[in-house]
Chains A and B, each alone.
Chain A
Amino acid sequence: MSLELLLIIAFGGALLTYLLGKISHRARDSFAVFISLVLVVMVAYFYGKTVEKAFYFGFFGLPLVLRLNMLSWFFAIAISSLGALCTIFSLSYMKGRERTDLYYLMILVVNAAMLGIVLAGDLVSFYIFWEIMSWSTFLLISYNKGPALAAAMKYIIMSIVGSLAMLIGMLSLYTRYGTLNISEISGIIASASSGYILFILIIFSIAFGIKNAVMPLHTWLPDSYAEAPSPFTAVLSGMLTRMGVYGFLLLMYVIVGLRNVITPRLLSYHYILAWLGAVTIVIPTFIAMLQNDAKKLLAWHGIGQGGYMILGIAFGTSLGVAGGIFHTLNHAIYIVLLFMSVGAVQYRTGGERDLNSLGGLIKKMPVAFTGALLGISGLIGMPLTNGFVSKWLIYKTLILEGSPFLAFAALIGTWGTILSVYKFVHNMFLGQLPEKYKDIQKSPLSMQLPMIVLSFAILLFGILPGIPLKVINAIGTSFGFEPLNVSLWGIASEAGMLNTINIFAAVLVTAALVWLVFRSTAESVPVAQEDSYAAGAYVPKDKYHYTVEFYNPLYKMIKPFLRDVIDEFYYGVAASVQKVCNHVRRMYMGDVGYYVTYIILFLAALIFVQLKWKPW
């Protein structure tokens, strides 16, 4: 088996799925799931292998290189497995909608392109796959039309800005070194001046920063996440946005190299990036608290959690980088689960995602509730869920290396998260069930299955973090970091260790004991809410529960400080560009006389310039 076969199957499978859709929808659905599962198996087969392979297509005389190492394998397995789960989830969610053939084609192409990105061994193929991913994402975000079109437009414009920045960086590297092979560049670039290295770092950071929504380049994300179809939002939030994290890792630790990036100076690139990460944690987390749209709330958390990854990676210690990479995986798992949970609710309630009009769904949709509960636990970073371990790694290195203010930003982000995610679960699943949802069905099996798998993964990686940390440790070592002392259930190091299995056992045993006490004492009677609240008196059928403006006293205090100034600024720039272009357009009167005048005026100006300064 070879790497090119993997990509051929990924792209060819997508195309075949589209063609099959013209014949039978049922065959197309099962083929799409089949292809995405085959990719998981194939990627899993490559575990621990190192491959590098060049192909000559006569493309500007440049070879296209595919390469595989621990870093790309780690991302590839996450992409393919989450992609497969999202495809399975799509089956019932997309049933009966229009243009489903296109949807399946695009979602498989996005997955294939992401695999291409992580397997690319040179910057040209990296760039090609990157563009395929951006454009197919654009089509998927705009799938629902209406407000989705505007969101997709915002996304693609920012993406293009990023791609152009990347292109400039690539051209500069090519003219200087004559190659775009990543491993060759990383060998040469150490000899470059620190100014040039900084230029390369910054120009690529624009591209990756936009993709990963690092403040102040985050503004495309909330709208796109909210408007895309929910199964695709899961893909988008899980791995696609995190291609930015992969890009940062590639840039900082593979291309430029550990020794050139991590410098002890206070105003260095990595230190400023870490601070940007900290800002990206705090502000979006607090903005998330103000949201009433379930998907927008999660979207802002998507930005905020991206800040943890950037903070860990940019801080540049072995614990920090391990924490950053691990958090990328963990975040993908729980955010995909959360978007699936929202998607399941949307599917049953006719697309409702307004937190103020849902409620009490726990008894109707228990699997979606369990998914949401475990998802938010991971998002908060509760012990025994996966999010805890990666955050613990990041906090610990920040504290021990003497950056308490960065640690404060990371920690306070967690407490802000608790408020908004409690509101999320409370307003959707707990509390009073609205009258119109009395007869709602539970989610179909094809939705439950991915949610159960992901819930299990959250607990597994939370209790036995050693499984992924072994791979992450290998990645860190390949970057030139000291290996961590990882066992299956924790991390031991000179100052303070983590032992998740102890905590797990303690929680399990004490919970069992408390439960025994609970069971053995006087029984409790299940009673309908209305009976105990009004003591049997009549309760109006409308909503009496308190969910709207859930943290009102706090909103009043913090709202004035949380305007998205950056978004407003970009809109201002866009508006003024449009204004200028509008004035330029007015030159075209449609009258030949004016055009002749323009030509004569232009010639006159040229002659004047030549007579006066003689430039030619």
Chain B
Amino acid sequence: MVTKVMKIILSPVLALIVGVFFLGLARKIMARIHWRYGPPLIQPIIDMIRLFYQKSVSHGCIFDLGIILSLAGSIVVVLILPFGQICPLAGSGGLLVILYIMLLAPLGMALSGGQGANPNISIGISRKLILALGYEVPLLLVLLSVMTHYKTISIVEMVNIQQSTGWSIISWPLFLSGLSYFLILPAILGLRPFDMTSAPQEISSGPMVEYGGKYLALAAIEHAFVLFISIALFVNLFLGGGANLITFFIKMLVVFVLGLCINAVFPRFRIEQAIKYLWKWPTLLAFVGLIITIAIRS
């Protein structure tokens, strides 16, 4: 009981530390690719602490509740998602539940922004939701191939099977699906070619434009969690999870840096270009992957 409570408290904290570390690392790596020196690694933490002490502007009750709900949703996903051997609530519904609770984050943000009544916010949200529809098509196909292949909806079981039979990205029925997930990862994270949602030069950071002070800090924390969740899901589903925390985090780090280096050199897509890309190559790969999975199963 005590260990379970400890795990419940520990896992969001660990996820937050890793996520914030990734945020700092991302800025540093980006800077080096651009031939700049870049801010120190702990800059995001400094920013957050500063923001929590600053006064801010509120536009009403849903404006506040939306962002609280969004962050709470992400923390709950971390509790259900197994990493290393820590999985406090993993038995509460598996991948399908994670898929749905992951919705709370963007939806909470969208509701909060909606009450901001700023045209830039609405444009940003509209783009975000279209982009989400764009990457959900390949993502759902990928997740369905994984669930069909392992005949379970529980991530813990998938990890256990992979621990004994090897990573699923190397096993050839799921290779294409894994590749497809890797291709859409930047879209899920809103990284460079897919950052039209919050394009600062175009729509003044979109959904963030009315946020200040603690709202921005909470949004940054939320971003850190989303970063953690999307990569951890990839590691769990395709890279065999982790026997312990260290291997798990190393795998995450490799995936993240790899994705960052590839995507740092692209210019920003328009939203139509993003949808066309997402519904072309990743979807095709995921589709073929799913057909192979079914063929092998039957």
Contacts and interface: CB of A to CB of B under 8 A. Distances in A.
Interface of A: 360, 362-363, 373, 380-383, 388, 392, 395-396, 399-400, 402, 404-405, 407-408, 411-412, 415-416, 418-419, 422, 425-426, 430-432, 495-499, 502-503, 506-507, 510-511, 513-515, 517-518, 521-527, 529, 532-533, 544-547, 550-554, 556-557
Nearest to A549: B126
A483 B75 CA distance: 35
A432 B118 CA distance: 8
A453 B133 CA distance: 33
A546 B125 CA distance: 11
B57 A527 contact: yes
Contacts of A517: 218
A383 B68 contact: no
Given A399-B144, A526-B59, A514 B68 contact: yes
Given A399-B153, A522-B55, A524-B215, A404 B210 contact: no
Q: Which residue of B129, B147, B294 has the most chain A CB atoms within 10 A of its CB atom?
A: B129
Interface stretch (B29-37, B90-98, B179-187, B238-246): B90-98
Contacts of A431: 114-115, 117, 122
Contacts of B58: 524-527
Nearest to B203: A546
B122 A523 contact: no
Contacts of A411: 99, 140, 144
B92 A382 contact: no
B271 interface: yes
B59 A425 contact: no
Q: Which residue of A381, A404, A503 has the most chain B CB atoms within 10 A of its CB atom?
A: A404
Contacts of B85: none
B269 to A, nearest CB: 11
18 contacts: A396-B96, A400-B153, A402-B294, A415-B132, A419-B133, A431-B114, A432-B117, A495-B154, A499-B93, A507-B73, A514-B68, A518-B64, A525-B57, A533-B117, A545-B119, A546-B126, A550-B122, A553-B130
A525 B275 contact: no
Given A360-B117, A524-B215, 6 more contacts: A362-B60, A402-B298, A419-B133, A422-B114, A510-B79, A525-B58
Nearest to A550: B126
Interface residues of B, number: 79
A383 B101 contact: yes
Given A362-B62, A511-B68, A522-B214, A498 B93 contact: yes
Contacts, number: 216
Contact of A430 (B62, B270, B275): B62
A518 B68 CA distance: 8
Contact of B144 (A404, A503, A511): A404
A525 B55 contact: yes
Nearest to A416: B133
Contact of B68 (A362, A382, A515, A524): A515
Interface stretch (B103-111, B160-168, B228-236, B254-262): B103-111
A510 B97 contact: no
Interface string B112-139: 0011111100110111011011001100
Contacts of A527: 57-59
A510 B72 CA distance: 5
Among all A-B residue pairs, the 7 with the closest Cβ atoms: A430-B114, A511-B72, A524-B58, A546-B122, A404-B144, A496-B153, A510-B72
Which label, helix, strand, loop or mixed, suits the secondary structure of the A interface? helix
Q: Which residue of B103, B294, B297 has the most chain A CB atoms within 10 A of its CB atom?
A: B103
Contact of A532 (B57, B75, B76, B130): B57
B272 A529 contact: no
A408 B140 contact: yes
Given A514-B75, A522-B54, A381 B59 contact: no
Interface string B209-236: 0100111011000000000000000000
A395 B95 CA distance: 11
A503 B97 contact: yes
Contact of B213 (A399, A522, A550): A522
B177 to A, nearest CB: 11
Contacts of B147: 399, 404
A419 B137 CA distance: 14
A547 B122 contact: yes
Contact of A496 (B93, B115, B140): B93
B247 interface: no
B272 A556 contact: yes
A521 B154 contact: no
Contacts of B101: 383, 503
Contact of B154 (A496, A502, A529, A545): A496
B175 interface: no
A195 B62 CA distance: 58
B152 interface: yes
Contact of B275 (A382, A412, A514, A557): A557
Contacts of B294: 402, 404
Interface in B38-83: 52-60, 62, 64, 68-69, 71-73, 75-76, 79-80
